[in-house]
Every structure is written in structure tokens, then in C-alpha cells.
Amino acid sequence: MAPNPTPVATRRSGRRLGQHFLNRRNILERLAEAACPGPEPLVVEIGPGRGALTEFLLLRAARVVAIEIDPRLAESLRERFRDVPGLTVVEADVLKSDLSQWGPAVVAGNLPYYITSPILERIFALGPLLRRAVVLTQREVAERLTARPGTRECGYLTVVANLFTAPEILFPVPPGAFSPPPKVESAAVRFTPRPPAPDLAAPAAFLEFVGRAFQHKRKTLRNNLQPYYGKQAAAWPEARLRAEQLSVEQLLDLYRRAAPADPAE
């Protein structure tokens, strides 16, 4: 499917929103194949822009729901794919959209770097409705998502990603693959969903605990958690460690042992 020319107004709107459009076809094809290794009933694409990845996703999915915040880009997409019945263009802010409304889906997209973390958290919140996700993001973020405990890259986002999925970096993407080229390296990341711990009834409460543990990344768990859990935080065997040194499983174990501090303490 040959793309239609992109209007000047659309190009300007993309720059206004800080978008970098991926235009290298071999990388687009690899992304689509990673997202849809076989035929898929539904793909939700985040930030389709000019529709470069959309074109390849439509070859592999029965239906693509493309969420685009820019009204001019959304209209351009509708015009470009006007004869393709499998595409639904939704003009909306993904951070204000209920991604679960379309049911079980693969999620794909070239994520805006400045809102990568909140978008990923919305993707992970899909839970059992997420079939898999393949996204392009800043390489530094990709390394944080896949970081091992004990490394400086390990942080709150690492825990969130590994609580709900098994993240893996697929391949790097150079700046020259985008228009305009970003000033940073990028990487494709695949998230394969997995259920959280079976006894974790309230993931949101656990993530609040994790947020507290990482509140000041270079401080110990005792210093970060004592304001919330009192003297018991100093007695934990892990008290002298930093949160980045613990695995998801170890953080879960610590969370199960934690109890709210007595206000008198």
C-alpha cells in the first residue's frame, strides 16, 4: 500500500507535539512481525502519526484501532486508509482513553518519549486483556525496563514492567530511522504478559509501597520506608539495602511483612 503525500500542516503538527516519525520500512516490518507473529484479531496502535506502522499492522491484523491525539494527523490517517475497512481512527489522548474498551488486544506503537512511563502503566493495567505489546521507546528507558536487580538502571518502572510482563529488548533503532532524527538512540521492546503473584489481591497497593521504597533512589529502604512503617522498617534484614538491589519477588516478600506504622511511634 503506497502512502499518500503528507500535507505540510500535518508535518508541522507532528513537530509541535515532539513526534519523531519512524520511516525505515525494514524496521517497521520487524515491529509489525514482533507484534503480530501470526494473524491477530485486534491491534491497538498508540500514536500512529502518519500511518507508517499502521500500514504493516493492517497486513497482519483483522482490525487496527489507531489512537491519535493530533486532529490533523487523525484526519490524514482516515484519508490515507479510507478504503481499508479494518482501520478505526480514534482521535483522543491515550492517557485519557480506556484501552480495555476494545477487549483483548495486542498493543503497538512508537511512544512519545516525554510520556512513555504513564503510557506503559496504562498498557500494563490491561492485565489479562493484554495479548502482548511491542513499542519503540528511548533506549535508556528500554534498559530501565529490562534492568536486573542491583544495577543503577533498576527502578520503579522496572518493577512495574516485571510485575505484569516479561520485558525484552528486541533490537536497537538508530536516530536516522526517524524523521526528524531524535537526539537519542531508540529500541524496540516486547512485553509478554504474565499474571502477578497469585496472592497479590491489590497490585495498586503494592505499587504504592514500591513507589515509597524508590522515593529517594540513593537512600536505603530504612530511610525511605520508616516514615510510613515506623520502627519495624529499621528491623527488616533488607533495611540497609536500596530498593534497586531487590528483585520483584523480594519486594513482594517485604510488602507482605510490612504493616502501617503506629501513629504513636
Grid cell for residue 246: 531487590
Task: Give me the pLDDT at residue 264, please.
Answer: 43
**Do 50 and 175 reside in the same domain of the chain?**
yes
Q: Containing domain of residue 233, as a range?
A: 203-257
**Do 216 and 243 reside in the same domain of the chain?**
yes
- Note the residue count of the chain: 265
CB 107 within 8 A of CB 125: no
> 259 pLDDT band (50/70/90 cuts)?
confident
**Do 20 and 121 reside in the same domain of the chain?**
yes
31-77 per-position pLDDT tens digit: 999 999 999 999 999 999 999 999 999 999 999 999 999 999 999 99
Between CA 44 and CA 212 the distance in angstroms is: 32
Q: Which of 169, 193, 217 is the last residue of a domain?
A: 193
CATH number reported for the structural domain that contains residue 139 in this entry? 3.40.50.150
**Do 111 and 135 reside in the same domain of the chain?**
yes
Residue 198 belongs to a domain: no
CATH number reported for the structural domain that contains residue 207 in this entry? 1.10.8
**Do 124 and 142 reside in the same domain of the chain?**
yes
CA distances from 150 to 48, 239, 246 (A): 36, 15, 7
**Do 239 and 186 reside in the same domain of the chain?**
no
118-145 per-position pLDDT tens digit: 999 999 999 999 999 999 999 999 999 9
Query: What is the model's pTM?
Result: 0.88
Task: Give me the pLDDT at residue 20, please.
Answer: 87
**Do 106 and 161 reside in the same domain of the chain?**
yes
Q: Which of 193, 219, 238 is the last residue of a domain?
A: 193
Q: Which of 146, 162, 193 is the last residue of a domain?
A: 193
Between CA 263 and CA 188 the distance in angstroms is: 47
189-229 per-position pLDDT tens digit: 999 999 877 788 889 999 999 999 999 999 999 999 999 99
**What angle (nearest 5°) sits at the alpha carbon of residue 198, between those of residues 229 and 109?**
95
Task: Give me the pLDDT at residue 154, please.
Answer: 97
**Do 35 and 154 reside in the same domain of the chain?**
yes
Number of domains present in the structure of the chain: 2
151-176 per-position pLDDT tens digit: 999 999 999 999 999 999 999 999 99
Give Dmax (Cα) for the chain.
Answer: 70
Q: Tell me: pLDDT of 13 over 60.
A: no
227-245 per-position pLDDT tens digit: 999 999 999 999 999 999 9
Residue type, 172: P
**Do 219 and 170 reside in the same domain of the chain?**
no
Task: Give me the pLDDT at residue 4, please.
Answer: 37
Q: Tell me: pLDDT of 8 over 80.
A: no
